[in-house]
Amino acid sequence: MQGTTARLAISLVGLFGLACTGVVSEPGGRADPGGGGPSGEVREDAPDDTAWAPAALLTTAQYEYAIADLLGVEAEVALPAENRADHFINNAHEHVATALSEELRVEAAGRIAAEMSPEELEARVGCLEGCTAEALRPFLRRAFRGEVPREEREAFAAVVTGAGDPVEGLRLLVEVVLLSPQFLYRIEGATEPPDADGLAAVDAFTLASRLSFLLWASGPDEALLDLAESGELLDDAVVAAEVRRMIADPRFGRTVSSFHGQWLALDAIDVLEKAGEAGDQFDGMGPSWRRSLDAHIAARLPLGLEALLTSSDMTLTSDLAPLYGLEPTGEALGDYAFPEGERAGLLTHPAMMAKLAYADQDSPIARGVFVMERFLCVDPPAPPADVDLSPPPVSPDSTSRERFEVRTGEEPCASCHRQFNPIGYLFGGYDAYGRFATETSSGRAIDTAAELRRLGPEVDGDYVSAVELTQQLSRSDQVRDCVADQWVRYGLNRPTTAHDARTRYLARQAFRESAGDFEALLTAIATGPGIRLMRAARDEGDEQ
């Protein structure tokens, strides 16, 4: 059946004129690491504009979520790892289909369709007998995220009737749908021809799809499609109301997990391995660390950026709590109060500290670079190719700060490391396992005081601990701007360019004025030109 399905999918692509190959893989906008230069400029008076983007291939997670929402089945699709660009894997310029990924999708689609019962097929497709073009209309509208022309619906109806047996026909239909470009790609349209600058307003169904993938990592539901069909969705007030509704829906948790997983590179936590004096205690704790951190973020994001960065309580699984000297609550996940002054927010969560460490010692370099890149949007220069990147040997007679100062305190290393090492020194109270201490195992006092320079006027200064730093970060407009830029990149699923100055300005302004409220930020992105407009073709401003 799979060979038949593949041929049918190819024939349907030709029939519908939707061949995307060759467009999807073309390079687009210049990457903007958050600094200066034309693509980094953010101006209040920037015109409404947006950069060109190819049709976006769904990521593995988006594909699985879209299948679950359409068919009501949990789908696990093993595909090759996506390319990462500017921290994100949903980059339409970099995430492209390969022969292997398409082969694996064919296998997955056949398996998912074959496992659906007649009752599930009837409930989800909407018919078992008499699956005419009209009867298939609601199902295909949900699958392809918009109205499907009658001639295309008739072609899909012919897939069902051509199989002879109604159940097998519906299974074949499901298989073909899951392999169709209208499902695999986010194919977009405009309300009118582009203007002289190459810009056009997206149509209502495209807007619905952009909103749903921004907020749910999946396609639109019936309510959003109905608003698109009526044209009401083109009103900013309606979009703002939909953002509130969609954030309140449990499916928003997918985006929270997806965004932070990509932005903060949290997948590394799942496979953490620890060594050293406490390595055995933390053996196999990667999934518990990841589950704890995901739950911690999800619980505090609705409270805003300040709560995310300064909350002194930490969400932990019951098996992790005792390892940090805490009495389990009896719940699988619970919030735990740490001693005053020990923890402050996401950056000091035990899982994050364990992630940003070596197997047997903490890493001031990894911690400093992480804060610079992810929260300040300041990119440190890459190390020279011939530099030894291995950590210094652990010694009970020295602190990690002393060991790394010896390794990086002389030129050519010092000129770069003096910018980010001090950030890491502030986190020196957290060991390789995320535990907190004021002394080493041999009784040496851990010095966490540091002077930060060349990071920005709101951040530069003298600090005594990571807690003091994270509290300052939570009040910084530089941090708010940086976080807003990350959400813009994620929401547009491509690098930002000079064309996106207005979108970035509106997102930053909303996040600043709301003191870090994420609903305000997402509403500004959803109603901004980056979501509302599309560019008909690349131009020189889009070249990398």
Q: In angstroms, how far is CA 94 from the centroid of its own chain?
A: 15
Beta-carbon contacts of residue 262 (< 8 Å; ≥ 6 apart): 84, 87, 88, 89, 90, 490
Taking CA atoms, 186 is separated from 108, 109, 213, 393, 459, in Å, by: 20, 18, 9, 50, 40
Q: Are 161 and 131 in contact (CB under 8 A)?
A: yes
pLDDT number for residue 383:
75
pLDDT at 541 over 90: no
pLDDT at 540: 58
Q: Bridge-partner residues for 320, per DSSP?
A: none
| Residue 366 amino acid letter | A
Burial 68-102 (b: 16+ CB within 10 A, else e): ebbbeeebebebeebeebbbbbbbbbbbbbeeebe
179 contacts 6 by C-beta, under 8 angstroms: yes
Of all residues in the chain, what percent carry a pLDDT higher than 90? 78
Q: What mean pLDDT do residues 509-524 have?
A: 98
Position with higher pLDDT, 86 vs 464: 464
Residue 303 is predicted with a pLDDT of 97
Min mean pLDDT across 78-87, 96-105, 198-207, 482-491 is at: 78-87
* pLDDT at position 524 over 90: yes
Q: With a cut of 70, say whether residue 96 has pLDDT above it.
A: yes
pLDDT of 344-369, one tens digit each? 999 999 999 999 999 999 999 999 99
Q: Which range among 7-11, 197-201, 301-305 shows the weakest confidence by mean pLDDT? A: 7-11
Tell me the pLDDT band of 190, cut-offs 50, 70 and 90: very high
Instruction: Tell me the C-alpha to C-alpha distance, in Å, between residue 318 and each of 289, 325, 334, 435, 539.
Output: 11, 12, 7, 16, 54
- C-alpha 186: how far from its chain's center? 17
Model pTM score: 0.91
Q: Distance (Å, rounded) from C-alpha 405 to C-alpha 388?
A: 14
Instruction: Determine the angle formed by the axes of helices 518-526 and 204-215, rounding to 10 degrees.
Output: 150
- pLDDT greater than 60 at residue 30: no
Separation CA 37–CA 11 (nearest Å): 46
Average pLDDT over residues 2-9: 45
Residue 15 has pLDDT above 50, yes or no: no
Would you report the helix, strand and coil content of the chain in percent, each value rounded to 5?
Answer: 50, 5, 45
H or E stretch covering 452: strand 450-452
CA 38 vs CA 29, 31, 285, 502, 541: distances in Å? 12, 11, 44, 13, 9
Q: How high is the pLDDT of residue 13?
A: 41
Amino acid 398: pLDDT: 79
Measured N-to-C along each axis, helices 364-375 and 400-408 cross at an angle, to the nearest 10 degrees, of: 80
Query: CA 88, 208, 123, 175: dihedral to nearest 10 degrees?
Result: -50
Name the pLDDT band for 222 (thresholds 50, 70, 90).
very high
* Model confidence at 406: pLDDT above 90: no
Helix (H, G, I), strand (E, B) or coil at 364: helix
Q: What are phi and psi of 236, to 5 degrees?
A: -60, -35
- The pLDDT score that the predictor gives to residue 275 is 93
Condensed to tens digits (0 to 9), the pLDDT of residues 487-509 reads: 999 999 998 999 999 999 999 99
% of the chain residues with pLDDT over 70:
89
User: Which pLDDT score, from 0 to 100, does residue 118 have?
Assistant: 97
pLDDT in tens, 130-140: 999 999 999 99
Cα 363 from chain centre: 25
479 CA to centre of own chain = 18
Q: Are 530 and 491 contacting, i.e. CB atoms less than 8 angstroms apart?
A: yes
Taking all residues of the chain, what is their mean pLDDT, rounded to a whole number? 89
Is 34 a residue whose pLDDT tops 70?
no
pLDDT in tens, 454-465: 999 999 999 999
Q: Which of 158-167, 211-220, 524-533 has the lowest mean pLDDT?
A: 158-167
